[in-house]
Structure 1
Amino acid sequence: MFSRQTTIQSFLFLLIAILSSPIYAAQSPSQAHSRITAWKHTVEHPDPIFITILTKALDITRHEYGSYEIISSKEMEQGRAVQRLAIKYEGVLDIAHFASSIEREKGAIAVKVPLLNGLLGYRVCLINKGDQHKFSTIDNKQAFIDSHLSIGQHQDWPDTDILKSNGFNVSTSYKYTLLFQQLKKKRFDCYLRGINEITDEYEKYKELDFEIENTLLFHYPYPIFFFVHESDPELAQRITLGLTRLKDKGELSELVKHYHKAQIDKLHLNKRKIITIENRILPEQSMQTLKPISWLTL
């Protein structure tokens, strides 16, 4: 019979052999990352570029971090998704994409590689049919403010604070889809939308008789980042590595161009008067991540 000591030694040798084996080593990246819960709006966004970029960033880091599975979160508005990335909500949400702000960067880990190269900071008004005359004589920020025209925005979006801090008259709603209905009811004059969003939204809500305003282009620095749950710096490192590799290969810029250049060309941006707006709620370091977009003609 084997002694107890011999049995323990045999067990330890077996355990060491298993831990040292190539099979075990291949499975060693953190198992917490095999299932990644992403914000439903990231996974199912009408613009597929966000889930495409996330998938590519995870694929290109598979060698270092292992396989993964993306799980969609429950439906939630943006403000709630921001909250769910805080420590006290661990296990609810791992990653989401948002526009950055000082407050948002305090409550989650911002992966500071802009997903759209700042494209969302270029904005155009969606207006009611027949309202173009209200905008045609405006040629600068102060003239827009003095006109007393109102802008519709979501209460949880950083845009609301950006616009208010610059003196604009802003009307808010708690839900994205309601803003289209409120524009139709003339609760405000302009629903300010990103140039990468507005043409698709115009087509989607065509029955409401909207128009795309054709003389003005608003701009403020506005990077979109992936935000990762506070408790998961390793996932943030993985996403940072993946995005940096995609950026260095030029693939990130090509994706933005592929998904958005054709629709943006329809807006004739080079014929518009630019209204420049300060973004006072964006950290300076995040501001510096934005670079000129080579194919954007202004």
Structure 2
Amino acid sequence: MKLYLRALLLILFCSKASFALAPDEQQSALTIVRVPHISRQAQHVEYIHKLLELALNKTEAEFGPYQIQYHDTETLPERQLKGLEEGEQVNVTFSHAKARWDNAAIRVPFPLVKGLGSVRFFFTLPKHLPALATVSSLKDFYQFSQGQGLGWSTATILESNNFRVVYGSRYVGMFVMLEADRFDLLMRSAFELLGEQEHLRTQHPSITYDPHTAMFTFLPMYFYVSDTQPELATRLEKGLKSAFKSGEFDKLFNQYFKEAVQFALSPSVRAHWISNFNVTTEQFYEVKPYLLPALANKIEPNLAPKS
């Protein structure tokens, strides 16, 4: 039913556009892109915004001019999803893969950070470092409670694997809760951790991390587009793949994530596989050409066989 509705919307859009506008007018129609405000103490949000502009620029000749409107107040994940479903205040956002979002919006099948979020490190307090250093398998992580924000994709991963999860409502509050010993570990990607640690040194100096102990899974980050604008999803997919082919995507990615890639894929990292039920094996092969090769080679042997 979901696929049928998406196809119907696309047909109606194309029909309406062709009858309402002459070819020259179609080219000049302005695409309004409405993006929620997401506040993080790391540079990946800035990167995503630049990548969005790049994808839109690459497709301007085919789809026409655009205007991006950024909200100026923080939008929680559940509110972002509701905004996508309504398609008025928000029509594009980004997130690590979530099965629920796949059923409520259009997932653009291109991994925005090459799957780099698949390796997960942990902020913690100094008293937990000795225990973290002895972790030798996934089951050893069960001794720790895990902090997560409401609506985070990693919360679903942890809950599905029967971990003890303690929830906080807002991003900044997670660090306050960790420092207050409300939970033991706060899972972060390499690029989040490296950016956030600079902030924590002054705001939450008791928080630390183990650079050698991690979990890993298949956790791509995608653009999600409102079902009401399937043509925008098509435009972004074309733009991203065009930027990848031209080398512009890699150039932008390396400007922001070179250090994080080295950190995540360091030979000294002991990364233990955890299954992610938000994604399918088919999704992996759909986006494999755009993943970090070393990471794809690490993930692939752990996936269920293709159906």
TM-score, scaled relative to structure 2: 0.81
Provide, for residues 222-278 of structure 1, a one-character-per-residue CA deviation record: whole Å limited to 9, x for no partner.
111111111101111111110110122233233222211124435673112111011
| 2:69 counterpart of 1:71 | yes
2:280 alignment counterpart: 283
Contact 1:121–1:223, Cα closer than 8 Å, also in 2: yes
Please point out which of 134, 137, 142 is paired with 1:137.
Answer: 134
Equivalents in 2 of 1:42, 1:63: separation in Å?
A: 32
How many residues in Structure 1 have an aligned counterpart in Structure 2?
271
Please point out which of 36, 46, 50 is paired with 1:39.
Answer: 36
Please point out which of 176, 180, 188 is paired with 1:185.
Answer: 180
Contact 1:42–1:50, Cα closer than 8 Å, also in 2: no
SS of the residue corresponding to residue 153 of structure 1 reads strand
Contact 1:43–1:72, Cα closer than 8 Å, also in 2: no
Equivalents in 2 of 1:123, 1:43: separation in Å?
A: 17
Contact 1:101–1:283, Cα closer than 8 Å, also in 2: no
Residue pairs, 1:139-218, within 5 angstroms: 139-145=136-142, 148-207=143-202, 208-209=204-205, 210-218=207-215
SS of the residue corresponding to residue 260 of structure 1 reads helix
Equivalents in 2 of 1:45, 1:201: separation in Å?
A: 6
Residue pairs, 1:107-126, within 5 angstroms: 107-126=104-123
Percent of aligned pairs with the same amino acid: 23
Contact 1:118–1:223, Cα closer than 8 Å, also in 2: yes
Contact 1:115–1:252, Cα closer than 8 Å, also in 2: no
Question: Aligned letter for 1:62?
Answer: E
**Cα gap change, 1:294/1:178 in structure 2, threshold over 3 Å: closer, same or farther?**
same
Calculate the aligned-residue CA RMSD, in Å: 2.5
Q: Give 1 or 2: higher helix fraction.
A: 2
Question: Aligned letter for 1:156?
Answer: G
Question: Aligned letter for 1:279?
Answer: N
Contact 1:108–1:228, Cα closer than 8 Å, also in 2: yes
Please point out which of 125, 129, 136 is paired with 1:128.
Answer: 125
TM-score, scaled relative to structure 1: 0.83
Please point out which of 40, 48, 51 is paired with 1:50.
Answer: 48
